[in-house]
């Protein structure tokens, strides 16, 4: 099954299939870890201006009232940046970049064709559904990069902190030839709709590695 509409590329279907499998595995690792925005360790000094990871090029310009700081990379992201209000404890946003070598075979326009497809959106939704009740799925764009935004509530399961039932999570997913940039924002259910505008501003302040 061909995910990219580029007939000039031989084996595009096989590469796309391998890419889909890699995305599902990476998303599963990411979403399993995102029960709440964690208490970050190894934080650099938070600042209200732009923060850039020099190795990957991931850059975040926090909106007014938010501070950004780099946090220690892990198996989820080789670059991670926290974007939070001073009053945030286990809420706020985290931006992570995950390299995807299989994406290097495609242009941004070809990747946009994939991320705009029903297949890709269904994969994103299905992966998030492993741990969340998905409430909304919508297209999302950052400049010329096309992706998706999904809203979900953590499923209630044994071992999941009770606190998880008080918050709602917003995922922004973008892909470039270098890999995937994921912005995960967590807010109180009671005021989530009001804070959604702030979270959108956080996501639009992210420049993924190109």
The confidence score (pLDDT) of residue 38 equals 43
Q: DSSP class of residue 50? A: -
3-state helix, strand, coil in the chain (%, to 5): 30, 30, 35
Residue 206's CB is within 10 A of a number of other CB atoms, namely: 24
The confidence band for 25, taking pLDDT boundaries of 50, 70 and 90, is low
Would you say residue 96 has pLDDT above 60? Answer: yes
What whole-number distance in Å separates Cα of residue 28 and Cα of residue 32? Answer: 6
What is the distance between the alpha carbons of residues 187 and 190, in angstroms, rounded to a whole number?
8
Domains and CATH numbers, the chain: 12-207 (3.40.1000.10)
Task: State mean pLDDT over 82-100.
Answer: 94
pLDDT tens profile 154-167: 999 898 899 999 99
Each residue of 105-142: pLDDT tens digit?
Answer: 999 999 999 999 998 999 899 989 989 999 999 999 99
Tell me the residue length of the chain: 210
Q: Please give the Cα distance from 152 to 12 (Å, whole number).
A: 32
The whole-model pTM stands at 0.81
- State the helix-helix crossing angle for 108-115 and 118-128, rounded to 10 degrees: 60
Q: How confident is the model at residue 47 (pLDDT cuts 50, 70, 90)?
A: confident
DSSP string, 140-177: EEETTEEEEEEEEEEPP-TTS-GGGGGEEEEEEEEEET
* 167 bridge partner residues: 188
b/e map of 34-46 (b: 16 or more CB within 10 Å)? Answer: bbbbeebeeeeeb
Query: Who contacts 128 (Cβ-Cβ below 8 Å, separation ≥6)?
Result: 27, 31, 134, 150, 152, 171
Q: When comparing pLDDT for 56 and 41, which is higher?
A: 56
Structure-model confidence comparison of residues 77 and 56, the more confident one: 56
């Amino acid at each position: 099954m061909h995910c990219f509409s580029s007939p000039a590329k031989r084996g595009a279907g096989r590469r796309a299939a391998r890419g889909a499998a890699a995305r599902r595995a990476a998303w599963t690792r990411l979403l399993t870890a995102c029960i709440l925005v964690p208490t970050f360790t190894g934080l650099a000094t938070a600042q209200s201006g732009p923060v850039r990871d020099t190795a990957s090029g991931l850059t975040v310009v926090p909106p007014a009232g938010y501070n950004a700081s780099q946090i220690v990379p892990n198996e989820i992201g080789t670059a991670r940046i926290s974007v939070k209000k001073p009053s945030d404890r286990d809420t706020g946003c985290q931006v992570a970049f995950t390299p995807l070598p299989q994406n290097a075979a495609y242009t941004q326009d070809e990747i946009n064709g994939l991320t705009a497809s029903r297949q890709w959106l269904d994969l994103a939704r299905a992966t998030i559904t492993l741990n969340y009740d998905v409430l909304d799925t919508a297209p999302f764009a950052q400049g010329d990069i096309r992706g998706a935004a999904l809203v979900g509530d953590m499923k209630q399961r044994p071992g999941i902190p009770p606190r998880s039932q008080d918050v709602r999570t917003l995922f922004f997913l973008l892909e470039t030839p270098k890999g995937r940039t994921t912005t995960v924002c967590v807010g109180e259910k009671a005021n989530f709709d009001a804070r959604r505008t702030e979270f959108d501003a956080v996501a639009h302040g992210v420049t993924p590695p190109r």
